[in-house]
Amino acid sequence: MPEMLDNGPQSSEGARGAELAYLDQALWKRLHEARSKEEFAAAWLTLQCSMLPGVRAGVVVLNNDDGGPCVPVASWPDGKQASPALASAAESSLNAGKGVAAHTESGACAAYPIIIDERLRGVAAVDVDTADEAVLRSLMRQLQWGCGWLEANLRSHAGNTDVDVSEDARLAVELSAQVLEAQRFQHAATALVTELAIRLGCERVSFGIRQGRHSRVLALSHSAQFGKAGNLTRAIALAMDEAIDQQCTLIYPQPEGNEVCVDRAHAELAQLGKGRHLCTVPLSDQGDWFGALTFDTASTAGFSERQRSTMERAAAFVGPVIASRYREDRWIGHKVWRSLADQLGKLFGPRFLGRKLVALAIVGVVSFMVLVSDIYRIRAEATLEGAVERVAVAPIAGYVTEAAVRAGDRVQQGDLLFRIDDRDLRLEYLKWSSQKAQVERKLRDALAQHERSEVNILRAQLDQANAQLSLVGEQIERTRVTAPFDGIVVSGDLSDQLGAPVERGQILFEIAPLDAYRVALQVPEGAIDEIRVGQIGRLVLASMPDRALPLRIDGITPVSTAAEGKNSFRVDASLLETPDYLRPGMQGAARIEVEERRLLWIWTHDLIDWLRLRIWSWWP
């Protein structure tokens, strides 16, 4: 059943997005320039739902001037139909003629009637995400103050305008504009209290912020500078504390018939002011009472009911605006501290179960990382190479006449790789063969004639011819290049270069065996100090990602190479297994096992090393 709530002082939890509506000057302009009650109700509801803490939806229901049935004229969010619970709360408020709060499964619905000249004109209702009694009381009071704007607008459209409420609304808009236009918070606060003093005819208006358990006076009307440690400012701060602690407007001397409140600090402040009349209105933002406005008048009649109403309305609408400016003007360290304190309050305070679960999960993960150990492994890019690679070069300068293999072909020892054109060599061989025959004939004639000197010369020529024949014969043999062992051709392809000239010593093919491999690892320079000969690891090739091959570190090359903007060291490793599918040139990734270390160190040491290097380089 709906629960009737008296409208008294209260506090509530705030919505973080409230300040955005106050800063939206276009929305305030829309409210100020609305020509119909529907436009005014829509703009008012948007502002009101943004100002009230924890609001999820809202609706304004009005009837015609002739007292017809009430119909919805505005809803928030725009176009959203009122829920059954919200409609029920609005209907209960219309029937009861007073504020109503109805608890729901996920919160509560609050509604306040709009009554003009004892005629029920409609109701404003909101759906909030809390059922806390103190929060609902605070929300009902703010909703009551906000309904005054709707009452003023309805009176203007009915030809019976309430000038006082309309002027209060205009004053609140003007004060909010002044606060928003000021460049700094101190300027905004001084302009606010000065304008209030002028408009309300007060001798002094003070503004203070609650800091911790006590208030601090930040601005006095008509005073750009003032002594913050003087007796007067201390007395004003105590009076503000008195109103904030009781969460109600305090008037001194208290009017007869009002609820009795503690006003000792106000009495002391009045004595300092030689018997003046005082009024302190607490300021609320996002459900928290953050400050107060203290009004001081020298009039013997004190504050009229009209003035008190204006003070409360102005404080209700300007409070969140000045609070937002105060937060924005704080230095960055204070903002960080406040944000941290707010998050810690949500973490260790009531509600916010999701945050607590996330925090527990983070603590659990960190504890797991600190307590659990694992093998620290260094990642490196890997390339498979033959343990021995032989090159086949051109034995002589000439032309390629035959190419029997290409890269990727398997060869057996003695298989032909390529052949160089040997026609010129064969002609050379025939030339020296003919010369040898001539020398031999001449040698026989010289021996027959017993010419010793000629015999010696011819024998030397014969030896020369034999040497040339041996040389040319060997060159002819070498024009046919064969595989030195069983293996695979790693590189080289002459199939499209038949007849092309080659130079002596030019590399034409590279051959590697199929039963012996080595792994070339590129270890980052930041991890090279962890590598030791004899360490073991695992190799995964890109062509076989589902199988890891064991390897062992055999050597470290103490020379770094730069590639893609990173330095790395070459580390040679041997495979402990050599499956048949391995081929030289295959690439993959290897992980070298170092030792057992904490998971936290394994996952964070790269970042810590990077930070150490940057801090050292930046440190003067």
CATH code for the domain in which residue 120 is found: 3.30.450.40
Residue where one domain finishes, among candidates 127, 161, 195: 161
Instruction: Identify the pLDDT of residue 144.
Output: 84
**Predicted local confidence at residue 534, as pLDDT:** 92
610-620: average pLDDT: 89
For the cut 70, the answer to whether the pLDDT of residue 227 exceeds it is no
| pLDDT band with cut points at 50, 70 and 90 for residue 208 | very high
Exposed (0-12), middle (13-18) or buried (19+): which is 68, by Cβ within 10 Å? exposed
Close Cβ partners of 473 (under 8 Å, ≥ 6 residues apart)? 429
Q: For residues 174 and 156, state if they share a domain.
A: no
CA 307 to chain centre: 50
pLDDT: which is higher, 403 or 380: 380
- Beta-bridge mates of residue 587: 383
Do 139 and 172 lie in one domain? The reply is: no
Q: Are 537 and 593 in contact (CB under 8 A)?
A: yes
Q: What values do phi and psi take at 594, rounded to 5?
A: -105, -70
Structural domain includes residue 345: no
Residue 194 lies in a domain: yes
Confidence label for 239 from pLDDT (cuts 50, 70 and 90):
very high
> Looking at the structure, do residues 37 and 127 belong to the same domain, yes or no?
yes
Tokens 């033959």 — which residue? 386
CA atoms within 13 A on the CB side of 383: 7
* Overall residue count recorded for the chain in this entry: 620
Whether 376 is in a domain gets the answer: no
Do residues 549 and 583 both lie within one domain? yes
CATH code of the domain in which 565 resides: 2.40.30.170
The answer to the question of residue 466 being in a domain is yes
Q: Going by DSSP bridges, is the β-strand pair 250-252/214-220 parallel, antiparallel, or unpaired?
A: unpaired
| N- to C-terminal Cα separation, the chain | 71
Question: What mean pLDDT do residues 536-562 have?
Answer: 91
Residue 24: which pLDDT band, with cuts at 50, 70 and 90? Answer: low
Which residue type, as a one-letter code, is found at position 573?
A
> Minimum mean pLDDT among 23-27, 61-65, 502-506: which range?
23-27
DSSP letters for 166-179: HHHHHHHHHHHHHH
For residue 557, CA distances in Å to 116, 486, 516, 553, 572 come to: 93, 29, 20, 12, 8
Looking at the predicted structure, is the pLDDT value of residue 279 above 90?
A: yes
Same domain, yes or no: 43 and 177: no
Cα separation of 514 and 488, whole Å?
Answer: 7
**Are residue 2 and residue 143 in the same domain, yes or no?**
yes
Of 21-35, 140-154, 454-468, the poorest mean pLDDT is in: 21-35
Q: Are residues 142 and 226 in the same domain?
A: no
| 382 in any annotated domain | no
Distance CA 127, CA 49 (A): 9
Q: Is residue 32 pLDDT above 80, yes or no?
A: no
User: Phi and psi dihedrals of 284, rounded to 5?
Assistant: -120, 140
Here the tokens at position 50 are: 């943004």
Q: What sign has the CA pseudo-torsion 471, 477, 481, 483?
A: negative
Question: What region does 155 belong to: left with phi over 0, alpha with psi -120 to 50, or beta?
Answer: alpha
**Mean pLDDT over each residue of the chain, to the nearest integer:** 83
Lowest mean pLDDT among 9-13, 108-112, 465-469, 561-565: 9-13
pLDDT of 67 over the 70 cut: no
- Asked if residue 543 and residue 420 are part of one domain, the reply reads no
- pLDDT of 19 reads 45
| Residue 45 covered by a domain | yes
Residues 451 and 527 both lie in one domain: no
Domain limit, last residue, from 307, 329, 351: 329
What average pLDDT score do residues 37-63 get?
Answer: 85
C-alpha 79/C-alpha 553 separation (Å) is 71
Of 68, 47, 49, 65, which is closest to residue 57 (Cα–Cα)? 49
Q: What is the phi/psi pair of residue 297, to 5°?
A: -130, 145
| In a domain? residue 368 | no
Lowest-pLDDT choice from 31-40, 156-165, 329-338, 454-463:
156-165
Range of the domain at 608: 516-618
What is the per-residue pLDDT for 16?
39
Question: Of the candidates 161, 193, 227, which is a domain's last residue?
Answer: 161
With the C-alpha atoms ordered 225, 226, 228, 229, is the resulting torsion angle positive or negative? positive
Relative to beta strand 416-420, strand 390-393 is: unpaired
Same domain, residue pair 119 and 227: no
| Domain count for the chain | 4
Confidence band, pLDDT 50/70/90 cuts, at residue 231: confident
411 vs 396: CA distance, rounded Å:
23
For residues 186 and 71, state if they share a domain. no
430: domain CATH number is 2.40.50.100
How much is the pLDDT for 70? 82
Question: Is 316 a domain residue?
Answer: yes
Give, in degrees to the nearest 5, the angle at Cα 313 between 312 and 318: 100
**Cα 232–chain centre separation:** 49
Q: Looking at 159-163, 393-397, 516-520, 575-579, which range is the least confident one?
A: 159-163
- pTM here is 0.46
pLDDT score recorded for residue 44: 85
On the 0-12 / 13-18 / 19+ scale of CB atoms within 10 A, 499 is: exposed
What share of the chain in percent tops pLDDT 70? 92
422 strand-pairing partners: none
CA distance 406 to 409: 6
Check residue 82 and report its DSSP letter.
P
**pLDDT, tens digit, 9 for 90 and up, residues 99-135:** 888 888 888 999 999 888 778 889 999 999 888 888 8
Q: Is the pLDDT of residue 22 over 70?
A: no
- Residue-wise pLDDT for 423-449, tens only, equals 888 888 888 888 888 888 888 888 888
* Separation between Cα atoms, residue 77 and residue 50, nearest integer Å: 10
pLDDT tens profile 144-172: 888 888 887 777 765 543 456 677 788 88
Long-range contacts of 101-110 (CB under 8 A, 24+ apart): 101/2, 101/3, 101/4, 101/5, 101/136, 101/140, 102/1, 102/2, 102/3, 103/3, 103/131, 104/131, 107/54, 107/56, 107/131, 108/136, 109/85, 110/5, 110/136, 110/139, 110/140, 110/143
- State the pLDDT confidence band at 1, using cuts at 50, 70 and 90: very low
Q: Are strands 288-297 and 373-386 parallel, antiparallel or unpaired?
A: unpaired
- Are 137 and 182 part of one and the same domain? no
Of 575, 573, 563, 550, whose CA–CA distance to 524 is shortest?
563
Q: How far is CA 328 from the centre of its chain?
A: 22
Q: By the 8 A CB rule, do 135 and 13 touch?
A: yes
pLDDT of residue 488: 83
Task: Extract the tokens encoding 361.
Answer: 């999960």
Taking a C-beta distance cutoff of 8 angstroms, is the pair 251, 278 a contact? yes
Task: Give the integer Cα–Cα distance in Å for 392 and 401.
Answer: 16
What confidence score (pLDDT) does residue 17 get?
42
The one-character DSSP state at 493 is B
Across 168-184, b (16+ Cβ under 10 Å) vs e yields bbebbbebbebbbebee
